C-alpha cells in the first residue's frame, strides 16, 4: 500500500491489531483480513469467494475505496461489529428509556454511533399517571445518555457519539435549542432540531405554530415561528449547535414508507434511519481517478460496482449488537456509498471549489455514481434477491423488477479513513494547504499538501519559508509570490463563502439517496444574519439538514446571558460565567526557584482548553496567600474563556523585591513564574489559537496538539486520527 507516514501512524494507533507486545499487524494484513472476511459472504450465493476477495483487496490496497472504521477495525476479529450508524427509538416510559440506554451502551462498546429522537418523551412538568408525579422532560434524559456515553470506552479505538433530535413542535423545544449553550454540557451529543414544512411555512408567513404534547397529541401552546427560528440561528452562530434537519423532506425520500416514519439520523446527520436500523458506509477516493487532467469514469464505475458488492456483503457478515437491529437492517439492506478526495480531485482538474464549474462537476459526478450504484444493486438483486421489504417500496411501484438495497448512496464525513487514503475528507474543501504538525514535545514539522508542493516546485516558487507563511496565514490569498492562477484554484475552507458551501452540498444531495454531511464554514466576523441567510438558502435548495461552524465559536467558554435583562435588551450583551471545573484534567507541574524558596506551579487542561492553575510554596516561606489568590483568579479567567495569551502577557514581567537580592534566578516573581508555566503549556499544546486570516481560532487536538478540522458536527485531527463528536 502506498501509505503516507501519517496514515501509518493513524493505522498503528487506532486500527491495527495489538497484543501484549504492541502492534502485531501490518496495514497489508489488515486489508487482507477485511477483504477475505467480507468476500466470504459470497459463499451463500454460489460466488467465487477467492476472486471476490482479490477484487476487494486490490480496491482497498489501491486506496480506491475504504469502508467505515468499524469494518476496518473489526472484520475478521472476535468483536465482528461492522456498522458505523445506528438509530434507537426512545419510548415514553422509564422502562423504555433505560432499555434504550442499555442498548446504546452496547453499541458504543462495539464501536458504533447512535442517533435518537427524544420527541416521544412527554415535556417537563407533564403529569405521570403511574406515580402521580411530574415528568422531568427529554433534556434531563439526554443528560443521562450523555453521562453513560462518557463512561463507556469503545475498546480504546473509537469514542461514543450521539445525535439527539427534538421535533420543532415539542413543548420543550426552546430549552432543547439552548441546551448546549454551556459547552461543558452534552459533550457527547450533536443536537439537531427536527424542522417540519408546516413550521417553515409559518416562519415565511411570520405566524405562530402549535406545540403538541407527544403523550396526548394535544396542543399545549403556540410560539411565533420566526422567533424560534431566530433563536436556532443565534445558538448556531454562538456555538455551532443546534444543527437542523428537515424531517418531512427526509420522509418524502423514505423508500419504504410502510415500514414506518424516519425520526432521527446517525451522529453526523448524513444517514436517516428507521428505529433499530443500522447502516454500513464506505467511500470512494476520487483523487485516484484523475488521469491526465480528466476524470476516469470507466475506472470509477468499476470501483462503484465492487464497492456496492462489498457493502452488501458487510450486511451479511456483520455481528449485530441486538437481534432486532439485525432483523430491521436486513429487511431494508441499506448501504451508504459516498466519496472522499473531492477537493483534491478539483485541484488536479484545475477547478476552483468556489466556482460554477465545480458545482456542475459535483452534479455530474454524483449522478454517475448514483446511477452506477443502483445498477449494481439491481444486478445483485436479480442474483441474490431483493431486500425483503421490496414489495412495499417505491421501487416496486415504479416498475423496477429487483433491488438489493433500499438505499445505495450517502455522503459521509470520512475523518480518519481519508487520512489512511491520503486525501481530502468527504466533499469538504481542503482545510489548510500547509499546516504545522506537532510530532514530539519540541519538534514541529510543516506539512504541505503534496499536489500543491508539486505545483509550487513546477512554478519555481516553492520554499520552506513560504510554506511556513502559508501555514500561519491559512490561505494563499494575498501572498505575492504565488501566481494568481494557482491561488485561484488552491482555495481552502475559509476562502469559500457559505453560499458555495450550501450550493455544493445541494449539488451532491440531488443524486444521493440518504443525506449529505457537510460543514458550512463561517468566518469569525460572520453575523447572525449571515447564518440565517445560509439556513434560508438550504431550505430553498432542498437540503435535508445543515451543520454550520463559525470560526472560533467553540473555543473558550460560551458566554451566558444575564438573567435579569429582558430579551430585547440583550441582543449582544453577555456576562462572563466560568464553566464548572471538569472532573478529569491533565497537565504539568513545574518546580521553579524563586527569591524566597521553591514554587511548584501546576497547570491543568481538558478538551476545551487550559482550565486551572495551582501553586504550592515550598518550606522556605514565600507569599502563599498572594500566590493562591493569583492562581484562583487565573483559573476563573481561563474557565470564563479569557485567552491564555492575554493572561500570560499580564503576568510575565512582574517583579518582586526578593528576586533582586539573588542572582541566577530564571523568574522575576511568583506571578512571572505562573505566566512562564502557562506559556510552556500553551506551547506544548500547540497554542490556544491559530492566526488564520480573518481571526481564525481553531481547536487543538488534546492528544497531539495539532490543528483539528470541523466536519459534520465533529472534529478530527489529521495528524494522529483523534476524533470526537458532540
Of residues 342, 287, 280, the one with CA closest to residue 308: 280
Dist CA 242 CA 531 (whole Å): 12
Dist CA 502 CA 189 (whole Å): 23
The residue behind cell 438483486 is: 381
Contact 659, 641 (CB under 8 A): no
Rama region for 279: left / alpha / beta (φ>0; ψ in -120 to 50; rest):
beta
Dist CA 127 CA 200 (whole Å): 30
Q: Catalytic residue among 74, 85, 188, 270, which?
A: 270
DSSP labels for 270-315? S-EE-TT-EEEEEEEEGGGGEETTEE-HHHHHHHHHHHHHHHHHHH
Active-site residue, 521 included: no
Q: Catalytic residue among 6, 146, 266, 521, which?
A: 266
Q: Which helix (H) or strand (E) holds 114?
A: strand 113-117
Contact 39, 52 (CB under 8 A): yes
Start-to-end CA distance of the chain, whole Å, equals 33
Q: Catalytic residue among 85, 179, 268, 717, which?
A: 268
Reduced to 3 states (helix: H, G, I; strand: E, B; else coil), residue 175 is helix
Query: Using omega within 30 degrees of 0 as the cis cutoff, is the peptide bond preceding 242 cis?
Result: yes
Burial of 10 (0-12, 13-18, 19+ CB in 10 A): buried
Q: Tell me the chain's radius of gyration from C-alpha atoms.
A: 27
Dist CA 121 CA 279 (whole Å): 25
In angstroms, the Cα distances linking 200 to 209, 326, 477, 689 are 10, 36, 38, 38
Active-site residue, 188 included: no
Query: Using omega within 30 degrees of 0 as the cis cutoff, is the peptide bond preceding 357 cis?
Result: no
DSSP 43: G
Up-side HSE of residue 121: CA atoms within 13 Å toward CB? 30
Up-side HSE of residue 574: CA atoms within 13 Å toward CB? 12
Dist CA 29 CA 430 (whole Å): 30
Burial of 598 (0-12, 13-18, 19+ CB in 10 A): middle
Active-site residue, 270 included: yes
Dist CA 392 CA 382 (whole Å): 17
- Which residue numbers are catalytic? 266, 268, 270
Amino acid at each position: 500500500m502506498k501509505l503516507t507516514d501519517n496514515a501509518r501512524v493513524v493505522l498503528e494507533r487506532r486500527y491495527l491489531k495489538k497484543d501484549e507486545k504492541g502492534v502485531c499487524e501490518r496495514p497489508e494484513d489488515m486489508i487482507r483480513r477485511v477483504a477475505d472476511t467480507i468476500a466470504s459472504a459470497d459463499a451463500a450465493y454460489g460466488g467465487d469467494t477467492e476472486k471476490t476477495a482479490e477484487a476487494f483487496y486490490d480496491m482497498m490496497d489501491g486506496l480506491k475505496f475504504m469502508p467505515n472504521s468499524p469494518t476496518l477495525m473489526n472484520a475478521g476479529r472476535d468483536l465482528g461489529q461492522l456498522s458505523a450508524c445506528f438509530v434507537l427509538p426512545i419510548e415514553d416510559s422509564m422502562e423504555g428509556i433505560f432499555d434504550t440506554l442499555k442498548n446504546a451502551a452496547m453499541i458504543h462498546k462495539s464501536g458504533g454511533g447512535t442517533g435518537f429522537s427524544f420527541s416521544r418523551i412527554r415535556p417537563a412538568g407533564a403529569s405521570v399517571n403511574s406515580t402521580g408525579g411530574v415528568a422531568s422532560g427529554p433534556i434531563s434524559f439526554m443528560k443521562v445518555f450523555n453521562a453513560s456515553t462518557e463512561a463507556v470506552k469503545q475498546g480504546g479505538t473509537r469514542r461514543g457519539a450521539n445525535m439527539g433530535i427534538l421535533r420543532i413542535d415539542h413543548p420543550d423545544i426552546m430549552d432543547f435549542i439552548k441546551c448546549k449553550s454551556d459547552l461543558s454540557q452534552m459533550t457527547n451529543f450533536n443536537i439537531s432540531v427536527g424542522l417540519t414544512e408546516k413550521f417553515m411555512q409559518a416562519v415565511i408567513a411570520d405566524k405562530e405554530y402549535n406545540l403538541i404534547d407527544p403523550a396526548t397529541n394535544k396542543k399545549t401552546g403556540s410560539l411565533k415561528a420566526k422567533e424560534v427560528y431566530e433563536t436556532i440561528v443565534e445558538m448556531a452562530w454562538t456555538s455551532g449547535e443546534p444543527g437542523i434537519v428537515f424531517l418531512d423532506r427526509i420522509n418524502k425520500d423514505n423508500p419504504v414508507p410502510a415500514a414506518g416514519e424516519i425520526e432521527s439520523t446517525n451522529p453526523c446527520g448524513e444517514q436517516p434511519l428507521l428505529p433499530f436500523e443500522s447502516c454500513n458506509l464506505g467511500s470512494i477516493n476520487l483523487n485516484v481517478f484523475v488521469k491526465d487532467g480528466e476524470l476516469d469514469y470507466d475506472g470509477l464505475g468499476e470501483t462503484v460496482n465492487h464497492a456496492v458488492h462489498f457493502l452488501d456483503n458487510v450486511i451479511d457478515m456483520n455481528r449485530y449488537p441486538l437481534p432486532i437491529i439485525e432483523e430491521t437492517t436486513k429487511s431494508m439492506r441499506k448501504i451508504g456509498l459516498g466519496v472522499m478526495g473531492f477537493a483534491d480531485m478539483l485541484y488536479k482538474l484545475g477547478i476552483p471549489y468556489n466556482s460554477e464549474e465545480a458545482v456542475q462537476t459535483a452534479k455530474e459526478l454524483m449522478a454517475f455514481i448514483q446511477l452506477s450504484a443502483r445498477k449494481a444493486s439491481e444486478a445483485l438483486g436479480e442474483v441474490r434477491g431483493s431486500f425483503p421489504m421490496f414489495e412495499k417500496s417505491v421501487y416496486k411501484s415504479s416498475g423496477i423488477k429487483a433491488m438489493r438495497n433500499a438505499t445505495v448512496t450517502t455522503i459521509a464525513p470520512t475523518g480518519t479513513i481519508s487520512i489512511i487514503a491520503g486525501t481530502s475528507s468527504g466533499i469538504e474543501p481542503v482545510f489548510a494547504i500547509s499546516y504545522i504538525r506537532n510530532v514530539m514535545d519540541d519538534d514541529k514539522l510543516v506539512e504541505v499538501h503534496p499536489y500543491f508542493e508539486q505545483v509550487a516546485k513546477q512554478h519555481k516558487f516553492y520554499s520552506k519559508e513560504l510554506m511556513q507563511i502559508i501555514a500561519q496565514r491559512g490561505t494563499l490569498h494575498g501572498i505575492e509570490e504565488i501566481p494568481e492562477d494557482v491561488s485561484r484554484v488552491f482555495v481552502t475552507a475559509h476562502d469559500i463563502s457559505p453560499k458555495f458551501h450550501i450550493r455544493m452540498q445541494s449539488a451532491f444531495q440531488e443524486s444521493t439517496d440518504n443525506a449529505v454531511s457537510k460543514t458550512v464554514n463561517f468566518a469569525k466576523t460572520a453575523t447572525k444574519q449571515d447564518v440565517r441567510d445560509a439556513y434560508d438558502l438550504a431550505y430553498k435548495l432542498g437540503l435535508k439538514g445543515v451543520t454550520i461552524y463559525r470560526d472560533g465559536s467553540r473555543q473558550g467558554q460560551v458566554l451566558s446571558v444575564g438573567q435579569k435583562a429582558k430579551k430585547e435588551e440583550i441582543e449582544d450583551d453577555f456576562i462572563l460565567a466560568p464553566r464548572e471545573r471538569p472532573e478529569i484534567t491533565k497537565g504539568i507541574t513545574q518546580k521553579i526557584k524563586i527569591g524566597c524558596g521553591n514554587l511548584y506551579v501546576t497547570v491543568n487542561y481538558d478538551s476545551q482548553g487550559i482550565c486551572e492553575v495551582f501553586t504550592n510554596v515550598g518550606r522556605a516561606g514565600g507569599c502563599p496567600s498572594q500566590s493562591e489568590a493569583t492562581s484562583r483568579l487565573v483559573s476563573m479567567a481561563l474557565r470564563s474563556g479569557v485567552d491564555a495569551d492575554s493572561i500570560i502577557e499580564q503576568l510575565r514581567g512582574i517583579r518582586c523585591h526578593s528576586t533582586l537580592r539573588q542572582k541566577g534566578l530564571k523568574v522575576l516573581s511568583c506571578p512571572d513564574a505562573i505566566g512562564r508555566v502557562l506559556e510552556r503549556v500553551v506551547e506544548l499544546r500547540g497554542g490556544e489559537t491559530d492566526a488564520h486570516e480573518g481571526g481564525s481560532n481553531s481547536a487543538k487536538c488534546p492528544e497531539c496538539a495539532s490543528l483539528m478540522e470541523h466536519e459534520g458536527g465533529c472534529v478530527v485531527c489529521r495528524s494522529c486520527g483523534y476524533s470526537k463528536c458532540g
